[in-house]
A and B are shown apart, each in its own frame.
Chain A
Amino acid sequence: MSGTADGGRPVESGSARLEDVPLASVPAVARPFRLQFEQAQDAWVLLYPEGMVKLNGPGGAILSHCDGQADVVSIIASLQETFGRDDLADDVRGFLAVALGNGWITLA
């Protein structure tokens, strides 16, 4: 997928590919990023030295599942259940590939 920043500024996603995120891999938020929900913004944000990435609802939902325990298959299953959909696999992996490309997550 082409991750596009809401302001039209491209997220570094040029090289993001689904196959970069194997279904059996286990994603975790990478150092130095910290994921937290911000009430004032009603959004999940990634905090890093002197900066912040604000995630939209689905982006935040996906990253909040990246706890270093769940693998990609179970994250997809969990999100599909939450959103009542059965076709989210590519969107989830696509976003994780962008997140990986930006250094927000690591895969184990």
Chain B
Amino acid sequence: MTRPTAAQGEADRQLGPLGERLDAASPGKPNARPGPPLWLLAELTYRCPLHCAFCFNPVDFATVDQELSTESWLRVLREARALGSVQVGFSGGEPMLRDDLETLVAEAHRLGYYTNLLTSGVGLTAERAEALQRAGLDHVQLSFQDSTREANDFLSHTRTFELKRRVAGLIKQHDWPMVLNCVIHRLNIDYIDKIIDMALELGAEYIELANTQFYSWAEVNRDRLMPTRAQVERAERVAADYRERYRGRIRIIFVVPDYHGARPKKCMNGWGQVFLTVTPDGTALPCHTARMLPGADFPHVDAMSVADIWYASEGFDRYRGTAWMKGACVDCPEQSRDLGGCRCQAYMLTGDPAATDPVCDKSPERRLIDAVVARAEAADAHSLAARPLVFRDPKASLALAAEPDGSFTPAAKPSARTPESSSS
């Protein structure tokens, strides 16, 4: 008997919720067979009652009206579970808007998944909570995403707070663990102490202070949402202080935003290594936003089995391992630690999806990040007010989708876009 050990999963939910180690799959070796898609994110719908300015659904979501059938979802659940998926997240949009949610949760539970519901709480009535518990739901992540319209009086947005309190009560009543998720940005980062206080008051086990990642709608609104360095540093201190004071009562997750770091994050724990997203229309993606990348279309779950999607499709193999790397990543001693960072970020900022993530200070394009951060530092109330937030809704989506340089299908050189053109 060797010493018992455990590879502790890292609660790095933003980048790839499972902190599973990947050595067995040797992501550094191009031909190594990856492990199973441990995390299945089922984006059931793009429909949503909210209008968050940082939503990670594609900017042109309103051009997609097809939704996968119940039967197809059930088949995806079975096929992914057979490959070894253990976590399933039912997400959206607002997943409560699918009236087959209970059916899908029940089948996922029967198959042995740990089932997670990622909801704003809108539509989570006592009756549906009861039905979801009967279906075997394991956990509810409740988001505070609808607060930005009221950013200045974040916590006095009474209607929202009352809804969250009611839903938090339901979560407790059904004995589900509760994760509160609050997307953090320039307009609310100074209130994270109040946000943590609220999480404590509601009895949450985890509070995830998810710094905005600048994709999709958040990219459209980037200059308005980007915090200053001083804001980030203060928030880090506050989070650390609360973490110390409330150890054992609540877990506080605060990940420093990309743009303010010097090294890129190991995006999704590696391309095609643990994470499989299925979009509302049935497209399988290695991450939420990968559909923005140039190249062949990603596979559809009605046209290819999940096993073939994971192990035999070009899309999921495209940036696996290190063979695709170029520039600063080639021969970099840290290449297997961060796998070159985020492909979408590289593409959005440099126009080249195989470039080193410009967040890396070894990237020749780091100046692009520095310029954005510098603009955030220089912005004052007047300049921010002059550029209002673009809220996610179908009308804005159709308008942005019609723009030749809309975020979802960036022009060949998206970095050439002026900040005004993406947020006006």
- Please report A residues at the B interface, Cβ cutoff 8 Å: 1, 3-7, 9, 11-12, 31-32, 34, 36, 38-41, 45-59, 61-62, 79, 83, 85, 88, 91-92, 95, 98, 102
Contacts and interface: CB of A to CB of B under 8 A. Distances in A.
Contacts of A39: 84
Interface of A is mostly: mixed
Interface in B80-99: 83-84, 86-87, 89
Given A32-B205, A91-B1, A50 B17 contact: yes
B6 A59 contact: yes
Interface pairs A-B: 9 shortest CB-CB: A40-B84, A32-B177, A59-B4, A58-B4, A47-B114, A95-B4, A49-B139, A50-B17, A51-B9
Contacts of B206: 49
A11 B114 contact: no
Nearest to A56: B5
A58 B17 CA distance: 25
A48 B114 contact: yes
Contacts of B21: 5-7, 54
A54 B7 contact: yes
Contacts of A41: 35-36, 84
Given A41-B84, A83-B1, A91-B4, A49 B9 contact: no
A72 to B, nearest CB: 14
Nearest to A57: B2
Nearest to B113: A47
A7 B6 CA distance: 10
B107 interface: no
Contacts of B84: 38-41
B141 A54 contact: no
Given A3-B6, A5-B5, A6-B7, A47 B86 contact: yes
Contacts of A95: 4
A47 B139 CA distance: 11
Given A6-B5, A6-B7, A34-B114, A49 B177 contact: yes
Nearest to A9: B8
B390 interface: no
A51 B17 CA distance: 6
B314 interface: no
B1 A51 contact: no
Contact of A11 (B6, B20, B139, B141): B6
Nearest to A47: B114
B19 interface: yes
A34 B4 contact: no
Contacts of A85: 1
Nearest to B17: A50
Interface string B310-337: 0000000000000000000000000000
A91 B3 CA distance: 7
B23 interface: yes
